[in-house]
Structure 1
Amino acid sequence: MNYPVKAVIAATGSYIPTVKMSNEAFADHHFYDRNGLPLLQEQAVILEKFKSISGICERRYAQPDQQASDLGFLAASNALDSSGIDPESLDYIIVAHNFGDVAFGSNRVSMVPSLASRIKALLQIRNPSCVAYDLAFGCPGWLEGVIQASYYIRSGDARRCMVIGTETLSRVTDAHDRDCMLFGDGSGAVILEAADDHRGGILAHCTQTHAHEYAHLLSMQPSNAPLQADSQDIFMKMNGRKLYEFALTTVPVAIKATLDKAGVPLSAINKVLIHQANEKMDAAILQRLFKLYDMPMPADDLMPMTISWLGNSSVATIPTLLDLILKGNFDNHQIHPGDNIVFASVGAGMNVNAMVYQF
């Protein structure tokens, strides 16, 4: 029997930076609000409240001699080495990020050449038909890269694609804004390849851009600190409350649309791998999803979380989580053949996407 060509995950890889930054590392920071006024709470209170809301205890930072392309290369190498796939067989290398390479001690963005070209060069791939390009799509960028790779494979244009999510958010956050504690660095990668048998692969997906009203919920702005008033530096800023409300409104609906398109009931989902920006927000998204189906909340192991020790690493979050689970490095979580997995993300733009994948 001939089956339609579809994209399946052939390999995964990740790189988790070695520099651990606990919440206590921010104990000496001087935080200000958006009006340049110092936060009056004691630092210990600020840190404890941050932990209770975000679920974050620590995050990882890149070494001073590493940039986003270096992390992406290490994640890509991990995927190739662990699978034995020949890098010369790749038809596409798609690299999702938001800020390119940012050198330690600077917040200046370097995006020429593209990170994809830099990583291809580091991998020493000589094949000119291996097309390398970048994708800037906010935190949903890696998942959108997977969706694009699936189109290439299904159209017959490619047989094998690598999609990398890599970021050094620690270098574009304002040390005087308590939101800086949310973010970490990291990289994750997958290799998708064509399959023409009965294996599930990508069953359906949904992508939306809500730019009309919400484009500027995440943006680049000056530091909160008054002493930085004359600086030309700009940093990543977000409207946390409105972003939270936006995510709760849009992400569950996008997931439901994807499940309905795939013809997969919510009860058949084995795992939800979601971009992890805030532990309470992700829990609320899952609750809202089950409410849409008028179903009770399931067991606690449906949505594995890394945010407590990795923070929000943007495009690296989901591929890193997937790699940890598939390689048996995530306690009490496994993915088995036939399992249905929901992937979902929300971020700058404002962009939302979801995908249903069957292993």
Structure 2
Amino acid sequence: MASLRFISTGVCRPNKAITNEDIACNINTRIDPDWVERTLGIRQRYVAENHVQTSDLAAAAIADLLDRAKVDAGTVDLLLLATCSPDKRAPATACLVQHKAGLANAVAFDISAVCSGFLYALSVAAAMLHTGSYRRAIVVGADMFSRVTDWQRRDCVFFGDGAGAVLLEAGGLGTNALFDAELYTDSCGRDAFSIDGSDSPFNMDGAAVFQAASNAVPACIDQLLKRNSLSADSVDIVIPHQPSHNLLREIARRAGIGFEKFQLSMGRHANTVGATIPIALHDALEAGRLSHGDCVLFAAAGAGFTAGAAIHYWN
């Protein structure tokens, strides 16, 4: 358990947007655009140009964040990148982001937990800041799943490219900026979603993913709330990873949290994997949905099978 302050957020959205209608008309005539939006909640997704790399998206999100925060890049001493679409096998893509974003003083490394990656990275950053060894951290989620999508398959509608970043500091004594996380891994679900090679399209068992996530995420939420003597009614807003609206509705039902409390951003972005939660958080702030003292619940599920939840009193 740590005390944490979110100072600022930033995002990067690629220039090219592909709608469900674009896919139906130009790529795959078997796609029903209305079904995609009704069931998944997705209207469009952003796709990066061929020359763009994951590190470019991450660095752009950080630049947006630093500009909004009016913070000198030299004061950031920790950089965590959540991604499962790295630029290359070595070095860590976070090192490339450090260079491109001008974060010369930041210790930098990658965290890979697919769609749970940002939540895992956020938990690691909170723990490292809590030790006092680091003063200011950036956690950035960036992924480009357009590169591992077979655009002739029906499941091409799920993913988009993007990046989102948050700037964090330790909360300090008396701030009441509690941060606590409950993380979970069950390798029995390791085959539900996989990518065999850097040029191979993803393979997904949608039913298995739905079942695993709808069980694991509410269980993590329940454990987390009980540990902190909170009820589902204590939660003011949920910032979730967003695989589909149907799955989020099921998680909301099982967790006993009103679906109206969920920040939904996948209509515009689709599933941006490690970037989904920070983009949703940024959108919630832009929409004025967060106030001082609000109990914020983060939740995610990803391949592996990984899952988790975290709470934070907005400060």
TM-score category (smaller protein): over 0.9
For residue 133 of structure 1, report the CA deviation from its aligned partner: 0.5
Encode CA deviations 1:112-162: one digit per residue, 9 max, x unaligned. Answer: 2221111110122333xx211011111110111110011111112211111
- Residue 121 and residue 30 in structure 1: after superposition, are their counterparts in 2 closer, same or farther (change >3 A)? closer
Q: Which moved more, 1:333-342 or 1:20-29?
A: 20-29
Q: Is the 8 A contact 1:9 1:192 kept in 2?
A: yes
8 Å Cα contact 1:8/1:200 also seen in 2: no
SS at match of 1:140: helix
1:235 to 182, 201, 207: 201
Return 254-263 or 195-204, whichever deviates more: 195-204
Report whether the alignment pairs 1:246 with 2:183. Answer: no
Structure-2 residue corresponding to 1:25:
22
1:192 aligns with 2:192: no
Aligned twin of 2:268: 309
* 1:337 maps onto 2:285 in alignment: no
Task: Tell me which residue corresponds to 2:186.
Answer: 210
Kept after mapping to 2: 8 A contact 1:115/1:133: yes
Q: 2:41 matched to which residue of 1? A: 55
User: Match for residue 294 of structure 1?
Assistant: none
Which AA in structure 2 matches 1:168? M
Task: State the aligned residue count.
Answer: 314
Matched residue of 1:21: which SS? strand
Q: Structure 1 unaligned runs (5+)?
A: 32-41, 102-109, 223-231, 291-296
> Which residue of 2 is the match for residue 11 of structure 1?
8
Post-superposition Cα deviations, 1:66-123, rounded to whole Å, max 9, x if no partner, equal 211111001111111111222112221000001112xxxxxxxx23222111111012
Q: What is the distance in 1 between the residues matched to 2:178 and 2:82?
A: 19
% identical aligned pairs:
27
2: CA distance, partners of 1:322 / 1:349: 24
Q: TM-score, normalised by structure 2?
A: 0.94
2:191 and 2:207 mapped to 1: Cα distance? 13
1:339 and 1:176 map into 2 onto residues whose CA distance is 43
CA distance in 2, matches of 1:356, 1:310: 24
1:157 partnered with 2:133: yes
> What's the counterpart of residue 257 of structure 1?
223
Higher Rg: 1
Alpha-carbon distance between aligned partners in 1 of 2:33 and 2:179, rounded to the nearest angstrom: 42
Q: Is the 8 A contact 1:204 1:261 kept in 2?
A: no
In 2: Cα distance, 1:273 partner to 1:144 partner: 14
3-state SS of paired residue (2:227):
helix
- Secondary structure of the residue that 1:357 maps to in structure 2? strand
Aligned twin of 2:313: 358
CA distance in 1 between partners of 2:234 and 2:149 (Å): 39
1:212-247 residue CA offsets vs partner (Å, 9 max, x unmatched): x2111111259xxxxxxxxx9421111001110111
Instruction: Name the aligned partner's letter for residue 94 of structure 1.
Output: L
Alpha-carbon distance in structure 2 between the residues aligned to 1:283 and 1:341: 18
Cα 1:81–1:23 change in 2 (3 A) is: same
Q: Among residues 113, 117, 121, which one is paired with 2:91 in the alignment?
A: 113
Shift of 1:198: 2.2
> Partners of 1:302 and 1:56 in 2: how far apart?
19
Aligned counterpart, 1:43: 30
Whether the 8 Å CA contact 1:275–1:318 is kept in 2: the answer is yes
Q: Which of 68, 71, 76 in structure 2 is aligned with 1:82?
A: 68
Q: Any gaps of 5 or more consecutive residues in structure 2?
A: none
Residue identity in the other structure for 1:215: R
What are the superposed Cα offsets for residues 167-192 of structure 1, whole Å, 9 maximum, x if unpaired?
A: 11111111222111110011000111
Is the 2:126–2:179 contact (alpha carbons within 8 Å) kept by the matching residues of 1? no
Which stretch of structure 1 is more off in the superposition, 144-153 or 213-222? 213-222
- Once superposed, which parts of structure 1, at least 4 consecutive aligned residues long, lie more than 4 Å away? 28-31
SS at match of 2:183: strand
Q: CA deviation at 1:11?
A: 1.6
> For 1:255-278, what per-residue CA distance to the aligned partner results, in whole angstroms no more than 9, with x for missing partners?
111111222222111101110001
SS in 2 for 1:258: helix
- The within-5 A match list for 1:264-303 is 264-290=230-256, 298=258, 301-303=260-262
Shift of the alpha carbon at 1:28?
4.7
Say whether 1:318 aligns with 2:277: yes
